[in-house]
């Protein structure tokens, strides 16, 4: 007897020449490892179907309006494109037990699939904090446009079975946003819109937390190659919220205080040029190296080459790279404003966290770790197969 199908739809998944979305690959593999479903991965994007690390991946296109504005206008067309792709790869909607979409922007596929098969469980997974984004393209948060987006996302949430969040913080901040800089006040998104008081509250289905776990067959304690000096590393896209500049400013403080200091940065993005410019202007070229993105399977070797992993990002739903590095024997320092602190039993003493955008505090924390070499622990089971087994048990009830 054939297994019921688990349809896993995501805009992020590794592909030839693109290593992003490793956490989605790990999740899909873990669901398949559980054994109760036939997992089919569908990736939103251009290109041919392909296979990656044992997973067969089907691609389908999404049509977007100019500058990404008013996305709901093209929802009907995109649902039809999705339906044709499902049919072309031989999937009968009646054979699908679970339709799981990543990101709220893809949630309309789950809501649409519920109409195709009302018996299927439909899931929208949120991978970030403050994930009800009401800005879009070049328009930004224009009141009328933001209100239309609010109603659109409200309808999507009301028409699926489960909202899955990658952390408690991600769950608790859904429908909220910062009023100003990241350390500012947190408000309901409706309070920040001109006519927000007239908007009805969100209609939310069942909500669950499923942490991004660790593939312990890939990330585990291994032999760390001996090296001289002190090596810091980071894996992150060069985007404004990742805030690499704060790390580089901390390095500028530490360059005369730490013998043999080296910093390895892996990633790409719009802020890469600015970061390289800062390195050149402050004569950090002999300390900081910029490296191209690598296959997810090559990261354990990178983690084990480090003395310390540092992630300066100001906002994160969950931080896979930090726990992956930790699993490989290299502890991580990260911003106090991100969700990973909820799994860190000693986070209140501040050994592993620094204030958002405070490069002096970050430099002090790096120096303190170098001098003390504290042991880092997390207070939750982060083995990915155990996490997804428990989640699937709950979904199947």
Tens of pLDDT, residue by residue over 349-389, are 789 999 999 999 999 999 999 999 999 999 878 999 999 99
What crossing angle do the helices spanning 244-254 and 359-372 adopt, rounded to 10°?
A: 60
Q: Are 145 and 136 in contact (CB under 8 A)?
A: yes
- The count of residues in the chain is 397
The confidence band for 139, taking pLDDT boundaries of 50, 70 and 90, is low
Give me the residue label for tokens 């499923």: 210
Give the Cα separation of 172 and 386 in Å (integer): 23
Q: What is the mean pLDDT of the chain?
A: 92
260-287 per-position pLDDT tens digit? 999 999 999 999 999 999 999 999 999 9
Average pLDDT (15-35) is 93
**Closest to 299 measured CA to CA, from 241, 345, 234, 393:** 234
Q: Hey, which residues does 57 pair with through a beta bridge?
A: 41, 50
- Kindly tell me if the per-residue pLDDT of 34 is higher than 70: yes
- Kindly tell me if the per-residue pLDDT of 142 is higher than 90: no
Q: What percent of the chain has a predicted confidence (pLDDT) above 90?
A: 74
- Kindly tell me if the per-residue pLDDT of 133 is higher than 60: yes
Tell me the pairing of strands 176-179 and 185-188.
antiparallel
Q: What distance lies between CA 105 and its chain's CA centroid?
A: 14
**Can you give the chain as a three-state secondary structure string?**
CCCCEEEEEECCCCECCECCCHHHHHHHHHHHHHCCCEEEEEEECCCCCEEECCEEEEEECCCCCHHHCCHHHHHHHHHHHHHHHHHHCCCCHHHEEEEEEECHHHHHHHHHHHHHCCCCEEEEEECCCCCCCCCCCCCCCCHHHHHHHHHHHHHHHHCCCEEEECCHHHHHCCCEEEECCCCCEEEEHHHHCCCHHHCCCCCCCEEEECCCCECCCCCCCCCCCCCCCEEEEEECCCCHHHCHHHHHHHHHHHCCCCCCEEEEEECCCCCHHHHHHHHHHCCCCCCEEEECCCCHHHHHHHHHCCCEEEECCCCCCCCHHHHHHHHCCCCEEEECCCHHHHHCCCHHHCCCEECCCCHHHHHHHHHHHHHHCCCCCCCCCCEHHHHHHHHHHHHCC
What crossing angle do the helices spanning 143-158 and 107-116 adopt, rounded to 10°?
A: 40
Determine how many CB atoms are found less than 10 A away from the CB of residue 393: 11
Residue 209 has, within 13 A of its CA and on its CB side, a CA count of 17
Rg of the Cα atoms in the chain? 22
Look up residue 214 and give its two tokens.
């660790």
Look up residue 156 and give its two tokens.
């999507």
156-204 per-position pLDDT tens digit? 999 999 999 999 999 999 999 877 665 567 889 898 888 888 899 999 9
Look up residue 191 and give its two tokens.
């309070």
pLDDT for residue 370? 97
Cβ neighbors of 138 (< 8 A, separation 6 or more) are 67, 69
Q: Hey, which residues does 173 pair with through a beta bridge?
A: none
Q: What percent of the chain has a predicted confidence (pLDDT) above 70?
A: 94
pLDDT for residue 67? 59
Q: Which residue has the higher pLDDT, 225 or 83?
A: 83
pLDDT for residue 148? 85
The confidence band for 232, taking pLDDT boundaries of 50, 70 and 90, is very high
pLDDT for residue 349? 74
Give the Cα separation of 308 and 326 in Å (integer): 9
């Amino acid at each position: 007897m054939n297994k019921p199908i688990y349809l896993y739809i995501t805009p992020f998944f590794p592909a030839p020449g693109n290593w992003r979305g490793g956490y989605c690959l790990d999740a899909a593999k873990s669901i398949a490892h559980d054994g109760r479903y036939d997992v089919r991965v569908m990736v939103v994007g251009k290109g041919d179907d392909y296979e990656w690390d044992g997973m067969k991946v089907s691609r389908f296109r999404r049509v977007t309006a100019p500058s990404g504005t008013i996305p709901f206008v093209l929802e009907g067309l995109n649902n039809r494109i999705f339906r044709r792709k499902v049919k072309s790869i031989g999937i009968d909607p009646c054979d699908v037990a679970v339709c799981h979409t990543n990101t709220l922007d893809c949630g309309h596929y789950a809501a649409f699939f519920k109409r195709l098969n009302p018996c299927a469980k439909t899931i929208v997974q949120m991978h970030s904090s403050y994930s009800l984004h009401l800005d879009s393209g070049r328009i930004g948060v224009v009141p009328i446009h933001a209100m239309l987006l609010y109603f659109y996302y409200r309808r999507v949430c009301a028409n699926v079975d489960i909202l899955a969040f990658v952390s408690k913080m991600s769950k608790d901040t859904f429908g909220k946003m910062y009023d100003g800089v990241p350390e500012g006040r947190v408000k309901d998104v409706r309070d920040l819109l001109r006519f927000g008081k007239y908007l009805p509250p969100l209609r939310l289905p069942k909500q669950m937390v499923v942490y991004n776990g660790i593939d312990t067959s890939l990330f585990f304690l291994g032999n760390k190659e001996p090296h001289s000096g002190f090596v810091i590393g980071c894996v992150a896209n060069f985007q404004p919220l990742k805030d690499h500049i704060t790390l580089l400013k901390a390095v500028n403080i530490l360059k005369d205080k730490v013998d043999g200091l080296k910093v390895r940065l892996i990633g790409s993005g719009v802020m890469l040029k600015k970061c390289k410019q800062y390195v050149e202007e402050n004569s950090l070229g002999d300390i900081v190296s910029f490296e191209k993105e690598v296959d997810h399977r090559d990261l354990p070797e990178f983690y084990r080459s480090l003395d310390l992993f540092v992630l300066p990002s100001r906002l994160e739903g969950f931080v896979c790279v930090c726990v992956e590095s930790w699993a490989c024997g290299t502890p991580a320092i990260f911003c106090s404003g991100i969700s990973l602190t909820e799994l860190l039993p000693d986070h209140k003493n501040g050994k592993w966290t620094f204030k958002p955008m405070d490069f002096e505090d970050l430099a002090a924390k790096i120096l303190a770790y170098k001098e003390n070499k504290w042991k880092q622990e997390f207070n939750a089971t982060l083995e990915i197969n155990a996490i997804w087994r428990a989640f699937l048990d709950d979904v199947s009830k």
